[in-house]
Structure 1
């Protein structure tokens, strides 16, 4: 019977009801030690007998073993791995040691976990319980939380219990239930149920001191019940509730025979719960199975078949903490000698490390091998821990520094920036080797991007590259690639120049991938002085990336960006489309938000507003789910620039613009978007203010140079043609270098005083080619000009073409402008609701699913690409069909082909 938890039980039980109804739900139950988290989910599990129960628990001694928690939960369903997409199945098999091979991305295991749970839920609703989640190994926790945040239309409930502790738990985005102490009446009922013979004064004091903590009430009541002086005298309590509970367990342990306490220490130090392993290790210490008897009788441990477990995790903690140092060393040594075979290699290494009494190179080497195995499985947090412990056991300073820098790199990859910085700094101080110092500095640089600023990243990356530009030029180019791009985000042209100078000194083989990257970045550094001479190398890099001569993900992202800077929009966007597909196929989730950023911009520049919105939304969703806070800000900047929802853009803008001092290039994109929204709405003065800030700011030589025609239009509409010419010379030079001259002709038409405007508008239209959005903007301006010249028939034709294009593209506010101009001609074009474009009726995720379905992908293939479950994909299509007026999948291709 669960006393005093009716309200919490009802709330947590709602997760089960949702799962039974076909809707997923995830929840975290938090509270102090002994507050009743496990009891609550035990009751919930008992209530879920109609569901498939997938259950596991974190074990403190196994936090260094990657995927140990997930293995406990999902290994029983290994026979279902074949139902997963190939990359996901391979990743899970590798993580569980069922196959060799490397996991390409630590988040891929999360996608595989989500898909497997969805597969299991096809049979009946699933309840996934993770108790003591604060002690799950980081790799398992990341996978489970990823799945929890991306559950959709699946009959799956996920519940985590977390003990309040100093270490923060990544609970953002999930529902939270906090367990507080029982109220006085419920606490009294609990005490009476376990110790009915207590006198009133003793019971009242117990109620006062236990703070409503159920475990404290039970254990202390039982302890008092068994004392001869239970009717009087001081209670064995004091301090915090958790301390009082532990004291009760210490009293119980103190009453055990010495041999029993030592055998319990073996159980506490072992992570397998395998009774055979425990007894074999115990035998080497002169102990036997009979020594477990007193602990079992006292219910300190529970034997279940071939397993032995502590009744409560705190008993394990108290057992280990109370042991002397030499006892722990002896027990870990015994376990290391017992755990033979390759399957126990990692556990054996950690037991040997725990038994070491000083530096030991053989143990350090064994831990280093364990770190490499963890890296192959994608357990980056475990890699960091193993390398750091190996460093502490190293016998020479250079070996220690090398292992520490490996630990720092793994900590950074695992999303632990503070640990990465600490380890990198320590490594650099231990050695005089330039390569190790350079790598340590590079790690600090990458941490600085998020923690300090992109400029700080660039400065440190330059510092590291300078150390090895002669000795290891290829690695130096990698660091300088980071430096240039971080400096770009910071709008720090001086740092770009410094990086370019070092790139010129890096002697990499001519024609190599690194040489092509260096050439493209050197060309980028020329842009502030003009585009002449810069366009060809930037396009060459983009072409090399497209043909496979440059194959690094970051290098290809930058190649795509440089292609956009060189106005090679279609080729650059095709490159980024292919890269996004490849990254998805490989399961490299960590890279995907970075790829989707320039892809969204490329689609936007091509006028594919739906596609841009889809890419930005996909990137935002994934970046938020895997904790990429800076990339969330960057993608929100792109979202503000989208023209699909001006109100949403304006609501997002304050949040992103506050980062303008740190990342002016990205936030300028948001300012450009605000300027365009104002321009479309007829607020020319406000538009001019936004666009002037963009065109005069540090990002004016980047993609933002394309804001100049919009600035010119805003200035003319605001009655300031003098200001319209301010930035045109730089734009005209860039346009001449890139052959992107259509908008130059449009600007000349806007600024023309006479009939030659007609010629410039016609020239612009002839140069737009297949850029439907740019052409529609020009037709709108041309139609307005023709109407003012009373050339009504021609004006009507241009404005009607513009309106049709804007409606088709989903540019609603520009469509309203065109409609207003036609009404001024006396026409009454049919008013269209804001969601008249069928695709505009879809949510961003529905739009992603519809686009992929229209391309012929199955639900399973779409799920693998978007890291959703197939059932959720089907749900999105079910919701989308009536919104867009289709009944069959084949109709989607026709609908989406218009964008």
Structure 2
């Protein structure tokens, strides 16, 4: 391909050259070129294409922006012949998304993974220009691919029309490069290059300044100016057309064309279909390809049907400058000639654009097309089609119902704020019962996910009102109350509805003989809320067992995971909770449910940190961070996903300040449960640092002594904090509650913690026996941190008994355990005890270990050790097989092994 001549873009070209060199060496990259219209993004992308033969290239088409996966399909057409090598789930999702097969609704991220797998062996360069006009599903899929590329030797470039202050949006997390206007000298050189007449230097500099160095404005203006203007003997047009003024300039230019030319251009701008459809619609309106001659002469459009506009601004000028009647006539003609069944969505959209008022027939067709888009996984398109159907619906009652459906689709698409706005326009009280119930549930989910603070406060109430609205539809009412239980877990005390009110609604739906998963959940919640702790344990255990049943489908397991983990926390069911998380992680990976997997990692990190299994918590935390980056989560959103229960064990600078900052975010968003967990974590940190009174006060604020409830597992900390702060009465009350909870739950870890707590309050003759029983009881449980603290407390007791040798042994064991998982806060407390025994106890200085595996390498190595092929590992970790191979080679080098078989002897969890 002929090399392009660019002015003043040496730095940008050098950056693109560097990316392509890295790709030839096997390193992938992605880059977004952002800038205003006409600034030269496309020229730079063409430059990259000129140096990479065989590149894949697509441009966003505004008329296709509402058709799900349209752009992704166009990009992958040359590669779809190889889709047979995709994993079955990815292949099925991609074929449904691209309209190549019928099947279950495509999951966005399975489609994204399929695209990643195909592109990993694609040509070196993939270009997506005018990304702002891609359909949302395609853009989200390609953004995911961009964030997961690593060692495939692929460069993925985006051109994005955006203002300087625009947010990256769906491309967040992909490297961005702002493309500014040309500097003075190259701008002058460009103007001189595009005209045949000598140019006055001062005038050229004025043009450069006035256009902001915008190459398109300079080029078009240069061709418009007369020789007198270029030499400075005649004035320039003011204001000089650039940006919106440049579009207005094109509009004025088009206005002078013959009517047939304007009609043809408007058809081309509105079409988005095939050249045959454009020609057929033109015949209906008395226009044809020959009528494009004036615009072709002015270089505004090129090519036979389908016509190509020189720049998106020209298309905008054509469409925006036309009268409403002309646009309707064009869309009416296009609808008439769009008869192929495969183009039914496009025909419905043209009919909608042609409507001059409410039209139930067109609205119903849009609704049918919306359902078809939803079946392909195009939830954004479904919401858009339904929203347009709402505008065309003449009957107010039917209009409100369609608006609720549109909001529901927006939630499915992740457009939560849009869903709230759609529901705000609906009179929910006037809706029939089932539609009102759906509206309430949709609003509850939308507000919470959109971060609307009032959502947490009112979410439970809305779910219960939805259950009431569903009336005799027991199944829907049952699911609504289960959703209320789920939201109550997150909201806790900030909810306007009490736990007793939720239980009162749950009891009749659970029935006297609960059987299904949801019935058992409501029965367990009711028994635990309305009865004594010991009365609720059996019902909670039955609910947990139902969720954990291997026969339960993956979607049920994932949707009820939060409830299962929460119930397991209440009654110390550590082993079952671990099983739930492990099964859910496998299910989420197998089905490509990435948001569910993110939730698994979040719950996993929290669970392992509370148990003191900090290295396993680190694994979940690191995996969750990688996944959230791949999903495009912003730095501000990451604040909500902080793990205070993990960082408070560590001795990093400013740890308390950072945790309290996160607490402020949780308070602002009314995330009651995260506020509570954060406060519990701060109390743990205070105990590690000997700030016992502060820990006691924090814990007392979360617990109601005399009635062990939600945070019974925090009672051992309250016993220690209260006793060490001189509040023996509170310590005894907390111990009594702990005894009730442990006896009811029958948990081995709970019994060990009960003995550990009894040892603190016991007299001299009994304390040692309790300390020993605590260590014996906690050994072999998942409570690694509890066991380490048991050794610490026993060692402290032994030191006070002046049994220096025995104390040193217990404290040494505790220190070794704390240091092994980098629990620095408790490790330092242990060192102080050892120093009090005499001798020097050094704080280890951790140096970077060049042989240590990164979290990503460790994840790849574990799966390879367990027999996974590169393709299986890639599907499991949402990478390409090339990237897996890259990581494995680094693992082998670091561990000094040559094969998967040798990994089994060298790699340990």
TM-score (norm 1): 0.90
TM-superposition CA deviations, 1:283-341 (whole Å, max 9, x none)? 2223333223333333222227x743111111111111122222222221222222222
Q: Which residue of 1 aligns with 2:519?
A: 515
Change (3 A) 1:775 1:418: closer
Pair 1:5 & 2:9 matched: yes
Change (3 A) 1:101 1:632: farther
- Where does 1:50-449 land on structure 2 (aligned, <5 Å)? 53-120=55-122, 126-164=124-162, 168-170=167-169, 171-197=171-197, 200=200, 203=204, 206-225=207-226, 235-238=236-239, 241-272=242-273, 274-303=274-303, 307-429=306-428, 431-449=430-448
Change (3 A) 1:228 1:695: closer
**Separation in 1, partners of 2:645, 2:898:** 31
Q: Which residue of 1 aligns with 2:631?
A: 626
**Separation in 2, partners of 1:746, 1:71:** 62
Q: Is the 8 A contact 1:780 1:802 kept in 2?
A: yes
Change (3 A) 1:278 1:452: same
Change (3 A) 1:720 1:66: same
Range with greater deviation from structure 2 (740-749 or 551-560): 551-560
Within the candidate set 778, 783, 794, 2:795 is matched to 783
Q: Which residue of 1 aligns with 2:677?
A: 669
Q: Which residue of 2 aligns with 1:890?
A: 901
**Separation in 2, partners of 1:831, 1:202:** 71
Displacement of 1:868 in angstroms is: 2.1
Displacement of 1:834 in angstroms is: 4.3
Pair 1:707 & 2:709 matched: no
Displacement of 1:549 in angstroms is: 5.2
Within the candidate set 859, 881, 891, 2:870 is matched to 859
TM-superposition CA deviations, 1:543-579 (whole Å, max 9, x none)? 0111145825322331232122221111122022112
Within the candidate set 720, 736, 757, 1:747 is matched to 757
Q: Is the 8 A contact 1:614 1:845 kept in 2?
A: no
Displacement of 1:743 in angstroms is: 0.6
Change (3 A) 1:778 1:589: same
Q: Is the 8 A contact 2:570 2:713 kept in 1?
A: no
Change (3 A) 1:296 1:331: same
Change (3 A) 1:448 1:566: same
Pair 1:539 & 2:528 matched: no
Range with greater deviation from structure 2 (786-795 or 206-215): 786-795
Change (3 A) 1:864 1:199: closer
TM-superposition CA deviations, 1:140-161 (whole Å, max 9, x none)? 1111111222222332222222
Pair 1:25 & 2:25 matched: no
Displacement of 1:264 in angstroms is: 1.4
**Separation in 1, partners of 2:228, 2:354:** 39
Q: RMSD over aligned Cα, in angstroms?
A: 3.4
Q: Is the 8 A contact 2:544 2:568 kept in 1?
A: yes
TM-superposition CA deviations, 1:336-377 (whole Å, max 9, x none)? 222222221211111121112222222222211221121122
Within the candidate set 5, 17, 20, 1:16 is matched to 20
**Separation in 2, partners of 1:45, 1:13:** 11
**Separation in 1, partners of 2:811, 2:166:** 61
Change (3 A) 1:819 1:243: closer
**Separation in 1, partners of 2:45, 2:877:** 32
Q: Is the 8 A contact 1:370 1:386 kept in 2?
A: yes
Q: Is the 8 A contact 1:594 1:631 kept in 2?
A: no
Q: Is the 8 A contact 2:735 2:758 kept in 1?
A: no
TM-superposition CA deviations, 1:103-147 (whole Å, max 9, x none)? 453233223222322232xxx6x2222111111111111111112
**Separation in 1, partners of 2:704, 2:366:** 48
**Separation in 1, partners of 2:237, 2:428:** 49
Q: Which residue of 2 aligns with 1:696?
A: 701
**Separation in 1, partners of 2:766, 2:850:** 40
Pair 1:596 & 2:615 matched: no
**Separation in 1, partners of 2:866, 2:617:** 17
Q: Is the 8 A contact 1:691 1:707 kept in 2?
A: no
Within the candidate set 621, 643, 646, 1:637 is matched to 643
TM-superposition CA deviations, 1:822-852 (whole Å, max 9, x none)? 677689999976479999x443333333333
Displacement of 1:816 in angstroms is: 6.3
SS in 1 for 2:442: helix
Q: Is the 8 A contact 2:61 2:134 kept in 1?
A: yes
TM-superposition CA deviations, 1:496-516 (whole Å, max 9, x none)? 332222223447784233311
Displacement of 1:14 in angstroms is: 3.5
Pair 1:655 & 2:665 matched: no
**Separation in 2, partners of 1:206, 1:375:** 50
Q: Is the 8 A contact 1:427 1:437 kept in 2?
A: no
Change (3 A) 1:695 1:798: same
SS in 2 for 1:533: helix
Q: Is the 8 A contact 2:62 2:133 kept in 1?
A: yes
Displacement of 1:245 in angstroms is: 1.5
Q: Which residue of 2 aligns with 1:495?
A: 498
Q: For this pair of structures, how many residues does the alignment match?
A: 884
SS in 2 for 1:27: strand
SS in 1 for 2:588: helix
Q: Is the 8 A contact 2:57 2:75 kept in 1?
A: yes
SS in 1 for 2:665: coil
Q: Structure 2: state its 5+ residue gaps.
A: none
Q: Is the 8 A contact 2:617 2:646 kept in 1?
A: no
Q: Is the 8 A contact 1:58 1:69 kept in 2?
A: yes
SS in 2 for 1:97: coil
Change (3 A) 1:838 1:221: closer
Displacement of 1:278 in angstroms is: 1.6
Q: Is the 8 A contact 2:703 2:711 kept in 1?
A: no
Q: Is the 8 A contact 1:138 1:381 kept in 2?
A: yes
Q: Is the 8 A contact 1:808 1:837 kept in 2?
A: no
SS in 1 for 2:595: coil
**Separation in 1, partners of 2:717, 2:848:** 27
Q: Structure 1: state its 5+ residue gaps.
A: none
Within the candidate set 564, 570, 573, 1:565 is matched to 570
**Separation in 2, partners of 1:767, 1:228:** 93
Q: Which residue of 2 aligns with 1:872?
A: 883
SS in 1 for 2:643: helix
**Separation in 1, partners of 2:793, 2:429:** 66
Change (3 A) 1:570 1:505: same
**Separation in 2, partners of 1:896, 1:6:** 48
Q: Is the 8 A contact 1:458 1:483 kept in 2?
A: yes
